[in-house]
Structure 1
Amino acid sequence: MSVSIQDAKVPTFANFVIGGISGVAAQIATHPMDVLRIRMQVSRNTLRDTALQTFGTNGVRGFYMGLSAGLLRQLTYTTSRLGIYSTLLDIGEQHFGYLNYVTMISLGMIAGIMGSFIGSPTDLILIRMVADMNLPTEKRKNYKNVVNGISDIWKTEGFTGLWRGAVPTMGRAAIVNGAQLGTYTRAKVMLQNTGYIQNGIPLQFAAALMSSIITCFASIPMDVAKTRIQNWRQSTKPPNIIAMIVNIVKTEGLISLWNGFVPSYSRAAPNTIITMIPSRTVVYVACLTRPAVKPL
């Protein structure tokens, strides 16, 4: 009963279960910010105009468009990335002891790439369901839910069509997870070293806020380009990620690469908090119930 959180370990499968459950909770809480982020990135409107347009067109329901795709994305992408990261971190600490910042970021990037490939189809459908609101009625896909979206893409674009934009999605995930997971872990260590915050929810909360700033700043340019590629509606093949970024800079200016920063951070900060804190809570319970086992 006296064993600390640092001395506890949960089974490997629990890392994946925790990731999925916490990801779903985070998505439900922050989905409106996801909707605003996507709509801003495809319409180039301000946050205020996007929010008013969303509410004016669909009411409160408009802020939860694509929720089924968002939830399935969490059950695939977040379950995988957090489970893989926690497992890799545990293995690394068991064999090498304390891991440096670069290693933590690298493990986060590996986990993000693997998880995003698995969750790429649901991410594609989420983008299209939300972006539909910006299009004229006759051009909309009108997916009823994520299953309908998967079925329609498979029929009209082929099985591989489900992975349209997978490369930029994986690139974004590498940046997001490297920054989020690696910086979150590093921020906790830094905060503990100050002596002001040692453990518990305040530590996790502060670390989540710090890591979210870095995550958003580093990942949004890739996210904007990825969203444009996944929502590509022209008959020609969409450009690759580099070409899309260059085109955005040329036609809209460099600052436009950070379009949607406010809703992105408003989503990322609580998302990180909701995602990370439950996993540590489970570890704490493991400490009380399994004092002999070694940590996460």
Structure 2
Amino acid sequence: MDVVKLRMQTSTLSMSHVVKDALRTKGLRDLYVGLSASLLRQITYTTTRLGVYQSLLDFIESEHLDRPNYVAFIGIGMLSGIIGSFIGTPADLAMVKMITDSKLPPAQQRNYRNAIVALLDIRRSEGIVALWRGAMPTMGRAAIVNGIQLSTYSSTKILLKDTGYFQEDVFLQFISSMFSGFVMSTISLPVDAAKTRIMHWSEPYKPPGLFGMILKIIKSEKMIALWRGFLPYYSRAGPNTILTMISVEQLQQFYLKYFG
């Protein structure tokens, strides 16, 4: 779904055309190009953002502060996303380059074998700072994604438990994460589209900033283009949110039961 989404964001093709083109040219494996970079991104970005978020919540509880409201949850989620995304930007950059590489002219294609090769090549040819190209829009996207995703998840759980019809179990976690993934996808996709365009930038002059790129997309392709790729985006973000949040909750309960 990441492959389809990124290729839709850097072209005018529909989801079906992107999938057909990939299967026709290189087969099913073309839909998994950049997998090593995607895994590296999860290892660096996701573990950091979730760890920081939970640590901040634990701190609030240990200090016996009032239960956070939705605004406070958003603030904690945004801070966690910013920290995690800064650490994960190099892997994110490698993923974008690997997925969009085949659409470049043959002379410009790098054909990276894996994420480590991509990162080393970028560092060697463009310098270590280039590994954080697009860091600001990535951090901006992460602030929105995590602020909405994690705050909506936590707040939905609290609201549902307060009704008296739900208790802390996998079903509650499933409902909360499914709703959280939908809200996050709807709000964050325009920022994600702008971030992808900046990372994919190949013009000789400097790309515009996050909001400049959003305005550029609106002027040249109309506002609806900001939500191009919503179906693959949510098809990835929905299950990803559900599996991630349920796994985190269950692993935390396991840890507290046997080691905490």
* TM-score computed with the length of structure 2 as normaliser: 0.96
Aligned to 2:7: 39
Task: Give yes or no for the alignment of 1:147 onto 2:119.
Answer: no
Q: Which residue of 2 aligns with 1:28?
A: none
User: Over residues 16-47 of structure 1, what are the superposed CA-to-partner deviations in whole Å (9 max), with x where a residue is unaligned?
Assistant: xxxxxxxxxxxxxxxxx111111111112111
Question: Partner residue of 1:65?
Answer: 33
| Deviation, structure 1 residue 94 | 2.1
Q: Distance in 2 between matches of 1:152 and 1:288?
A: 45
Q: Aligned letter for 2:242?
A: I
* Alpha-carbon distance between aligned partners in 2 of 1:240 and 1:174, rounded to the nearest angstrom: 16
Please name the residue that 1:237 is paired with: 206
Aligned partner of 2:241: which letter?
T
Q: Does 2:196 align with 1:227?
A: yes
Give the corresponding residue for 1:174.
143
Q: 2:104 is matched by which residue type in structure 1?
A: L
Q: Identify the residue that residue 160 of structure 2 maps to in structure 1.
A: 191
- Distance of 1:190 and 1:54 partners within structure 2: 43
Q: C-alpha distance in 1, partners of 2:178/2:196?
A: 24
Instruction: After superposition, give the CA deviation of every residue in 1:74-118 in whole Å (9 maximum; x if it has no partner).
Output: 111111101000101110122214111111110000000001001
User: Are residues 1:83 and 2:51 paired?
Assistant: yes
Q: Is the 8 A contact 1:36 1:263 kept in 2?
A: yes
| 1:43 and 1:134 in contact (8 A); partners too | no
How big is each residue's C-alpha offset from its partner over 1:131-172, in whole Å with a ceiling of 9 and x where there is no partner? 112223222222111111111111111110000000000000
Which has the bigger relative contact order, CA under 8 A and spacing at least 6?
Answer: 1
Q: What is the CA distance between 1:287 and its match in structure 2? A: 4.8
The 1:287/1:240 distance shift into structure 2, 3 A limit, reads closer
1:251 aligns with 2:251: no
Kindly report which structure 2 residues correspond to 1:251-270, keeping only aligned pairs within 5 A, or say none. Answer: 251-270=220-239
Q: Are the aligned partners of 1:125 and 1:149 in contact in 2 as well (CA < 8 Å)? A: yes
Aligned 8 A contact 1:229 1:239 in 2: yes
1:52 aligns with 2:20: yes
Question: What letter corresponds to residue 164 of structure 1 in structure 2?
Answer: R
* Closer/same/farther in 2, CA of residues 75 and 287 from structure 1, 3 Å limit: closer
With the length of structure 1 as denominator, give the TM-score of the two structures. Answer: 0.84
1:185-210 CA-to-partner distances (Å, cap 9, x unmatched) read: 11111222233332211111111110
- 1:121 lines up with 2:90 in the alignment: yes
The CA RMSD measured in Å over matched residues stands at 1.3
Match of 2:172 among 198, 203, 212: 203
1:89-128 equivalences in 2 (<5 Å): 89-95=57-63, 96-128=65-97
- More deviation in 281-290 or 106-115? 281-290
The residue identity in structure 2 corresponding to 1:74 is: Q
Matches within 5 A, 1:5-20: none
Shift of 1:177: 0.3
Give 1:11's aligned residue.
none
Size of the aligned set, in residue pairs, is 259
Give the letter aligned to residue 6 of structure 2: I
Quote the offset at 1:65 in angstroms: 0.5
Percent of paired sites with the same residue: 47
3-state SS, counterpart of residue 43 of structure 1: coil
Q: Which residue of 2 aligns with 1:19?
A: none
Q: Does 1:271 align with 2:231?
A: no
